[in-house]
A and B are shown apart, each in its own frame.
Chain A
């Protein structure tokens, strides 16, 4: 009896110890995302399971979710880097379109598949480099710099993405190797319970792991978080990091991720079209915000962004199953975004109150000042001038 009590006590102490770490305010938004994901899965399990042994939370459904959203995961990862540094990249949707068009145009001319895909990804990198140079060397705000590249990439894909008669249309990618790559998958299970992992999912997971390692285990990763602290990388620079070069690299990473996402999207759609990916940048930004990354920069995790994409993807699974019009998914998206933004806000306010209560002699004044500070900083999301 007593040993059981001891165990409960020990478990309780363990829970408190790690709970404190888990619920520290920098993890709270991500916890919120994961909780939402779990709640949504439970909702799906209760609502859609049961018929003929069908279970919603099962590997076939979940891997299908991953397959359908692999490109968005990669986009969101690139966007996370940019947003962590306090910037924004609006060009990614247009870069995805450009990449698909480049693939659709290069493959029929006889360029080998591997080289085509590398060129396609490098096109994204080049677009990112352009934004990075504009932001870093000319002091143009990321919003405008990436907006210019949005138009450039969209225009380029319009120019390239015409068929042999010069008509803009969706170009089917007809290539044996490409089709093989698109349909390649590792199969698991048997019969109804069959589930598979395809190349897109593997690439997305690989990108996720690399991004995690880069962000949390390299100097560059520290610099990304440092630039996002609202002082435009000054503190990071004083610590001996190199915020200038890192800033260009951040946009190159985002561009590269957009290039990879473009390849995945081309594999997914099997077409190259200059109208692909309109508004996709907003999907990516929304996913990152739902994933718990603060738009002001400096706080957030790539794993959260991946979870954000899955929350996003689940909405698009639920809406048709509920028999609702596809337009409802936009409304639900907005509602979920609203809830998450309010949650984040509540967390920041709580964090401020707590830190004010610990430190200052006049807690009330301090908390007021902190909240004004915060409001001020919120307002300066786009500030990235030198």
Chain B
């Protein structure tokens, strides 16, 4: 049993090397990037990661945030929770401004760690729906939407299609979901909506990663639901569409969450997926100033993180927006704590909590009409819950006209209840009014 000194010596040596090689971050704002470019979810993870990186490069090309350059580093999680935790631990010590875990599972594991380490977590359009309540979840920011707002918007859209929410009475809606926290999150809201409008909700779980769905779609064929809501990620989405083709379920009656509405999800199915609908947190395409600028200053300069034709795809744009919001939070923190200075993670958190991106600012950013204004507060860590529905026409995603907002009267009581339950479980106190102002 003398092997251990050796192993320890080896690890100590590597530890020494690690501390030795840690980059100096004196005048740079450090942003760690968790990503997955390998594994079952890589086709979706890659454009997302590239979008995040390209925007940071773009900010640096413009001279940084009031002169403070941004340093960033990627860590590969492979969408695995334990690997994600390892990455978080590795990168947090280097002065991490914030983390975007890119996975609901990793978000859950980090939600308990973030308050101790005092690092904000941003989970744009994913994560824990209850964390919208900043009174309990001081460090979580589910900006622009959660699974509850997503589910709510989908039901509103279906109601509109049917000619009123009351027309949903007696309808059958099936939820085909990734059997993980990600897929299960929308269920409470859908159940509440089902109670309100009298539609029947069928829950059809799909075992992760979702390559085997024969049994699920057999069920769909038997039940003949009026609509199928698809709560999938990665390979599960294209498989579901292929199964829908095989079972003859009309794609027009299928509605995906915004994580089931990107190019990799439908590309393989191509024309067969025509008519499939999905939520859109952000549009795709390159027809607005910010993307053009990124193409010019990053890709034309040979700095692009990925292939040029991927720029402007749905998930690339979402990654770009995540970085944009992070940088805006840093900018906001600088306004409060000193222009042109490196801000601490705690100050960045303040920035996230006091974001106020209005139409004018969106115009300046080159994002006019791309997203709606975002304004966060202590009570509302989401800032905005506007989204649209887009449809696949066989070759590209076509954006719908209507903007929907999550219905506060439905969502807020659920959020409050879940947040209180979480607080009771973890024995944490709601933040006082003073803490909110600070």
Pairing of A with B: no
Where the two chains meet, the residues of B that have a C-beta atom closer than 8 Å to any C-beta of A are none
